[in-house]
Structure 1
């Protein structure tokens, strides 16, 4: 196994918290400031869930039934974007930020999870692990993408390096439909613990069954435009959003002794600046630093929290611009001496100096 190191200090090359003063809240005081926003409006929650689910089903149905393939393509892409937003509602439900103790919501989201390759048992287990390990060194990819130091990289075997590269490779993110959702969230947990993760088998059967039914009764085009293409696009975008918000040039990796949810949220989670349309389709997941600070804030209240709390208004920012996408994928290893993320090439160069 790759061994970790905890010799970490802050530097000016990484995100810095403002100096403490009587007017600036940090730590538990800042988390406490977010508590008023961690209260849902039941009506709003049902409105967002109902509208999003209905639009997704209607658009995908028309994508399958449209007589002209360019129209099918456009509707399929729109359906993919609605899939992303639908997933965010499920994500918030699993965090307990919306519609808790609702029998109807439980039924709806468990049906959704079965068809969307997000079985509740493995999803909740891996995602909770993610929230507890953001900003830490990790050579494993349980619910997150691994991040190791340059020292760990140089000490790693050829197999360990290859696995690390594969898990963080752009193709792994691009084909997240297979690599992340089908394999990591469904097949692998089922293989490792079939009794605990029996719902992974249910999800595989439901998803595969839906494709089969559409293919048999509607043809290959229907299966492609209703499920295969939109799932490929939605999973690729969702996987990249997840990757980029915890693997960016100015992120900070925190030693185990100094790690807190507060520091992980503000130093190891980004704010992705998006236009209003993309904010809607992505369910405000770009406000990721606030989500990690308090997971109980409903997605539709994240902008409100940022607008009301000055300490949350100067986060490390990323975008979907090509330059930022490239920088996110190039930020591969944490250099303990330089105190920032570096590329594989830079790690090799520094080691030879």
Structure 2
């Protein structure tokens, strides 16, 4: 098996490195602005005098939580003030509070980056992708499990399935010593939920804690799914797989306006991020604008039609070289 990058791919990666540098002032401002916005959103969701404002606060808080997660995600990649003890403490605490403990996140997400669009790789840290041949050979129960994993309801319930169970409870039960932080995250989450319910009441719990988490995790899971499961994605066998190829051909660019780009922490520049995950989120647009090879990406949007198209990408057909829907018979 030869997955050695070509000279062109090495040169492309080298041209991204100038953007993988820290700007302490910009990083600090982005962290402060994000947590400032989160405080405002929580206050609106919890204490607004008019219930429609609380609902608005719920959705605003969910969007800011997505952005806060991207900051955590960047820190884990070493792309956001990695040498700062303050940010290390901040994001490790955030990871516990938001059901993304650092140990399990690093283990699964690093595997994802190292194996994106490689059909032979295990599905740790990502969605399972079968070939049409695998589907034909699978049992009825195996097919059902595959369909459930990729079903829209699984995204909607991502708070429980992907985060509470997938990143916390299940890893802890399988390996309590390695994933002790995952067990701690569950305990902290349950204790905090009970405290908010008892001190502030069920209304505040629903509008300022449970509601934002459910919405944020559903959006986050869909974004993660759609940026590697879209109509013109290309999945390769081991012999043809390279890091740069996976970044450019199997990681999409989410085309959206500046407001949504702010809330999603520029994660829409996913092809750039996968090419060099050490580029801070606030420099991803600069890298794309400066490097011609990054300016013709595979594009997705959050328009209903494009979302439906992503959700219909179910199986990889090696003969056609594209994703296809489930067989009708």
Q: If the TM-score is normalised by the length of the shorter chain, which range does it land in?
A: over 0.9
Contact in 1 for aligned 2:44/2:53 (Cα 8 Å):
no
Query: For the aligned residues, what is the CA RMSD?
Result: 1.5
Equivalences for residues 324-339 of structure 1 within 5 A = 324-339=306-321
What SS does structure 2 have at the residue aligned with 1:341?
A: strand
Residue from 13, 32, 37 that aligns with 1:55: 37
* Offset, 1:140: 4.8
Contact in 2 for aligned 1:131/1:292 (Cα 8 Å):
yes
Contact in 1 for aligned 2:254/2:270 (Cα 8 Å):
yes
CA distance in 1, matches of 2:62, 2:91: 18
TM-score between both structures, scaled by the size of structure 2: 0.96
* Offset, 1:62: 2.9
In the other structure, the counterpart of 1:90 is: 72
In the other structure, the counterpart of 2:190 is: 208
CA distance in 1, matches of 2:315, 2:121: 11
Stretches of structure 2 that go unaligned for 5 or more consecutive residues are none
In the other structure, the counterpart of 2:200 is: 218
Equivalences for residues 236-275 of structure 1 within 5 A = 236-275=218-257
1:229 aligns with 2:211: yes
In the other structure, the counterpart of 1:281 is: 263
CA distance in 2, matches of 1:119, 1:27: 33
1:172 aligns with 2:154: yes
Give the direction of change, closer, same or farther, for the CA distance of 1:128–1:182 in structure 2 (3 Å limit).
same
What SS does structure 1 have at the residue aligned with 2:323?
A: strand
In the other structure, the counterpart of 2:275 is: 293
* Offset, 1:139: 7.8
CA distance in 2, matches of 1:63, 1:172: 26
CA distance in 2, matches of 1:90, 1:210: 20
What SS does structure 1 have at the residue aligned with 2:235?
A: coil
Moved over 2 A (4+): 138-141
What SS does structure 1 have at the residue aligned with 2:238?
A: coil
Paired residue total: 325
Contact in 1 for aligned 2:120/2:237 (Cα 8 Å):
no
Give a deviation string over 1:44-97, Cα, whole Å, max 9, x none: 111101110121023212311222211111111111100000000000000001
Stretches of structure 1 that go unaligned for 5 or more consecutive residues are 1-5, 7-19, 349-353
